[in-house]
Amino acid sequence: MATPKALIVRAPGTNCDEETQFAFELAGSAAKVIHINRLLENPVLGEDYQILCIPGGFSYGDDIAAGRIFANQFQLFLQDLIHDFKERGKLVLGICNGFQVLIKSGALFGSTEPEATLTWNESGKYDDRWVDLSVTNEHCVFLKGLETMYLPIAHAEGRFVPRSEEQLSRLQTAGQLPLRYSDGSGSDHQLGFPANPNGSIANVAGMCDPSGRLFGMMPHPERFIDRTQHPHWTRKRDLVVGDGLAIFSNAVKYFG
């Protein structure tokens, strides 16, 4: 199997780059972390890579709104690079802050009008907790073969809000909302706290573009790679591998 190259882009305030790199490498890709300034100086640098990842953190302090300033940089200066990834069958993954960046840069939408956003948690505060997730279709490359996952969220601005009801059904129909917070019952009702930790409309925890190759998710898959990261690992001595690794493995397998 060829070893795909993953480029992890960090900005001032990005803070999950090292563990994300570790996860990509464990999954079998060659991963490199670079500062956004290098990419802004020389955008074609990114064309060497098959996977682009924007990791978690507080890019530019999440000042103004989470991911806004980093998203504007993609929008203003790196449109060609994003276009290259979209058109040449490559993958883009945004985790937490990276999801906020992707959605606010417009990269996940089929139109130029913003279709949805991520805003303040209904609780009004930052929250670190583990959540049950369900995968609602197999359209998204990163979620192939997955049904459920248990992963941590850690954010203040993760409430998914679509522009309108109609927009929501369009996105659902297009398979662009493949990852949902779940209470394990399999029902698709709007869930309350804490199963739906931030009040996301339709329990949305992740969104992909129409191709299924660009994907953003609020939960942190890189934080559940090792069994000892699971909050119940001392209760489940038979745990072997973390649910989160599958996200990275799927990215690698896609190029296999």
Partner 1 sequence: MLWEIDIYPAAGQPDLVARSIASDAPDLGLPDFHLKHARGYLIEGGFSQDQVEEIASRLFADSIVEKTVIGQVGDRDFLANNGDSATLVHVLPKPGVTDAVAESASLAMTELGFPPEAVRTFNKYWISDLSDEEIDVLCEKLLANESIEEIRRGGLSMEQLGHGQAYDFVLQSVAIRNASDEQLKEINRAGQLSLNLVELQTIQQHYRELHRDPTDIELESIAQTWSEHCSHKTLAGRIDYTDENGTMIFDNMLKETIFQSTVDLQEEFGEANWCVSVFKDNAGIVQFDDRFNIAFKVETHNRPSAIEPYGGANTGIGGVIRDTLGTGMGAKPICNTDVFCFADPNTSADQVPDGVLHPRRVMKGVVSGVRDYGNRMGIPTVNGAIYFDDRYIGNPLVFCGNVGILPKDKSFKAPRPGDMIVTIGGRTGRDGIHGATFSSETLNTDSEKLSGGAVQIGNAITEKMVADVLLQARDLDLYTAVTDCGAGGFSSAVGEMGEEIGAEVWLEKAPLKYEGLTYTEIWISEAQERMVVSVPLDNVERLIALCESEGVHADVIGKFEPTGNLVLKYNGIQVGEVSMKFLHDGRPPVVRKATYQPAALQPLSKSSADFSIDLQKILSSLNVASKEWVIRQYDHEVQAGSVIKPLVGVANDGPSDAAVIRPRLDSRRGVVIACGMNPYFGDFDTYHMAASGIDEALRNCVAVGADPDRIAVLDNFCWGNTDRPEMLGSLTRAALACRDYAKAFKTPFISGKDSLKNEFVDTRNQNQRIAIPATLLISAMGQVNSVDHCVSMDLKESGSHLFQLGMTQNEMGGCHWSIVSGASGGQVPRVDAKAAKWLYGKLHQAIENQLVLACHDLSEGGLAVCVAEMSFAGGLGAEIQIDGIEIKGEQSLDEEPVDLDLIRLFSESNSRFVCEVASEQVEAFVSLFDSGQITEIGRVSSGKNLIIRSGDRELVSTAFDELKQAWQRPLDW
Interacting residue with partner 1 among 90, 180, 213, 220 (CB under 8 A): 220
Q: Is 183 in the site for partner 1 (CB under 8 A)?
A: no
DSSP 124: S
Interacting residue with partner 1 among 83, 88, 129, 189 (CB under 8 A): 129
Closer by beta carbon to partner 1, 7 or else 154: 154
Cα 76 from Cα 56, distance rounded (Å):
21
Q: For residue 107, how many other CB atoms are within 10 A of its CB?
A: 24
Interacting residue with partner 1 among 29, 50, 73, 196 (CB under 8 A): 73
Segment near partner 1 (CB under 8 A); pick from 42-50, 66-74, 78-86, 171-179: 66-74
Closer by beta carbon to partner 1, 231 or else 256: 231
**Window 226-255: contact mask with partner 1 (x via CB under 8 A):** x-xx-xx-xx--------------------
Strand, helix or coil at 133? strand
Reference 60, options 75, 76, 71; nearest CA is 71
Interacting residue with partner 1 among 57, 98, 158, 216 (CB under 8 A): 57
Q: For residue 1, how many other CB atoms are within 10 A of its CB?
A: 8
Q: List binders of partner 1 among 15-44 (CB under 8 A).
A: 15-16, 18-19, 22, 35, 37-38
Cα 163 from Cα 201, distance rounded (Å):
11
Reference 104, options 59, 134, 139; nearest CA is 59
Following CA atoms 163, 218, 81, 143 in sequence, which dihedral angle do they give, to the nearest 10 degrees? -100
Assigned token pair, 250 = 């799927």
**Catalytic (active-site) positions:** 96, 220, 222
Strand, helix or coil at 145? coil
Which residues lie near partner 1 (CB under 8 A)? Answer: 12-16, 18-19, 22, 35, 37-38, 56-58, 60-65, 68-69, 72-73, 76-77, 104, 114, 116-117, 119-120, 122, 124-130, 152, 154, 161-163, 220, 222-223, 225-226, 228-229, 231-232, 234-235
